[in-house]
């Protein structure tokens, strides 16, 4: 039982059937190797394109968030701009300008007296 068999004692049978079996085994081995190589190649391609798609979706989401933020800022700026345009238009009106000057700088018409009352509600 403890004897090891020496592989040099085994001889192959060189019959036509044995050669066909060896050739078939070699072809199967080559085809398996080719199959695994093709599967590996497509797996690598799939992983690369999958990573690119995921990265592109992430970047697209980031850009869309930035666009929304910038559009919101744009709307606020447009509203502020309209308000300022209206204020500029009102400043060209002499009655409005006189009213502002009286309120802010305590200007008065001749014969008017201005009283400054403290605001006790504060």
Closest-CA residue to 114 (of 65, 122, 69, 106): 106
How far is residue 54's CA from residue 52's CA, in Å, rounded to a whole number? 5
Write down the pLDDT at residue 65.
97
Write down the pLDDT at residue 90.
86
Write down the pLDDT at residue 56.
98
Write down the pLDDT at residue 108.
76
Write down the pLDDT at residue 122.
54
**Secondary structure class of 1 (helix, strand, coil):** coil
Write down the pLDDT at residue 9.
72
pLDDT along the chain (122 residues), means of 10: 59 79 94 98 98 97 97 97 92 85 77 73 56
């Amino acid at each position: 039982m403890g004897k090891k068999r020496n592989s040099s004692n085994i001889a192959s049978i060189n019959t036509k059937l044995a050669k066909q079996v060896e050739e078939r085994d070699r072809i199967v081995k080559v085809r398996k190797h080719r199959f695994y190589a093709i599967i590996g190649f497509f797996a690598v391609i799939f992983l690369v394109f999958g990573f690119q798609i995921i990265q592109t979706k992430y970047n697209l989401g980031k850009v869309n968030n930035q666009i929304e933020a910038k559009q919101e800022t744009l709307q606020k700026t447009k509203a502020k701009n309209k308000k300022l345009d209206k204020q500029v238009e009102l400043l060209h009106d002499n009655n409005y300008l006189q009213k502002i000057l009286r309120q802010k700088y305590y200007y008065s018409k001749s014969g008017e007296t201005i009283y400054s009352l403290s605001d006790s509600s504060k």
